[in-house]
Structure 1
Amino acid sequence: MTGGFSPNLLADIQDMWSYLGILNAFRAGTVVAVLAAAVGWFMVLRRQSFAGHTLAVAGFPGAAGAVLLGLGVTLGYFTFCVLAALIIAALPQRDGRRGYTEEPAIIGTVQAFALAAGMLFIALYQGFLNGTNALLFGSFLGITTDQVVTLALVALVALIALAVIGRPLLFASIDADVARAHGVPGRPLGAVFLALLGATAAEVSQITGALLIFALLVLPPATAQLLTPRPARSLALSIGLALITVWVGLFIAYYSPYPIGFWLTTVAFGLYALTYIGTTVRARTGTRATVHTPAGA
């Protein structure tokens, strides 16, 4: 590992990829970025960010509990995240609307309990504080080839499932009442999507940590939806932004003593902030130009 950046960017990249652990981090990050951007795009469109954050937090006690029991951390992430997704999907409906959007207090309670349970498991394990930091704020060190394969397989299954339900899910997300009138099964569809969101949260948490998952799950999709209202173009742009975020974040983190979660969040937030400012300025400039344009021009 070199001491810092060099004028030769290609040499820096070759230096990073000479370590199998770093190469695996880029592989896992790429897989996670694609899945998070695709599923997160629908999550942002459906205004389920709070539910998504709760699912991410649920991964923390899952991972901590798996460490306590001597099981794989990946198993703990997926078990708790998907289980939490099914619990949220089972919340009772009100006035025909989705229960998980109508019961923020219950979701918040689940989130608080998940954090408390995670800290309890860490205390019982009596492990190093650095392990807790990795679970909460992410780490790109120690990713094995087997973990990359597992992440890739889960992502492939999740993306195929998302492709199958994507069209009716988009319809139901844009106008739930009209979709219901056309026979779209909103509640079962929402439950399947929440399960996919839980699996995605479990994957992303292994890179960003449980508390910084929005760096990939929310910011790239939100940025893309600011740039264009067209679904296909926005979805593709979301994936591209997520890949840029992961690759740049990993590159900087390799030469930095600070955690990967910080850099991922900083890059993703920077892209969102620049996009928001740019679109706001453009909208105001366009409005002024329209107002001051002579009628006969």
Structure 2
Amino acid sequence: MARAIQPKLRSLLALTLLGSTATGSLAAQASLNPTVAPRAAELARNGQRGISTEMLSQYLATSPDDGSAWIQLGRFYLLDIRDWHLSGHPADSPGPLYIDFGSAALDQAVRLRGDSGVILRQMLEVERAWDVIEQQGYDVLRRWTVPADVAPLPDFISELGANLLSSCPTSGVMATGSDLETVAIFSVVAAAGQAASVVIVVPSFYATDARYRNRIATALGTDSAWSVQRALASVAQRRPVCLTPLADRTLLALPDLRPMRFVLVSGPGTTTSDRVVTVTDLARADRQGNSSWLREVHAVYTAAAGFNPRLCDGPLALLGDTQIAACRR
């Protein structure tokens, strides 16, 4: 449920904090306390995210150089916007303003730490796009671009998005199974100015958010009263539907799924992309070993190798047998 705990106070705190850090008007800075972000995370896990957000806001007002705290604050706002959708878009909540609060927090995190801040920041741009889609329909993405001042995804995650996209036949619909897959795909098409070129379906959002479901059903040409499984099965009769490696195949239960590079495809069509799929950026990131997202990216490729073993002797061979669990012999 969306947090209704003192929404006006939280909004005021966020606006005051983020405005003051942006203008550099803080009179004094306290020393960093590495226990604050973990403590806030623990409070949130215990159902006290509102208190955690206020605690972080107050702390960052005097310790604005704590990148971990900014990341945690941005993550809370990302969860807040999703809860707002889940709870039916209540009017007494800041709603889409959570995206602005989170973006400002994560911009600070990127400045200080990068990596996780960059990826979460791009996830908020996906949330911003979903919010506009709910208001205006999927065609609004024809004019959609990610602002130039938003840091791009790390190369190995953009590479993942490009690999998934090029695996899906032309005009295919993509159903994703994780936030990472969604942001990787969306960021690639948005960066190319082609955000409307592929319909991305997030099954969990489709099942829980009526506004999102209505707009996606319109884009798919299906009935919004249908389940996501029925809608995608209907679409697969006339155009390809591609499941990313982490998509729930049991839940979606599409007919005649077949592996095609890094995705599973139901419906007509074959991959026509001449792009060579590669994991060179991931191999480079593995050698550097400085990203907390490497495990998640490996999990996507491991899932793909699970349904398409040919990948082990193809592009994934670059990583070696020990890197991808499904390729170990």
TM-score by length of structure 1 reads 0.28
- Higher strand proportion: 2
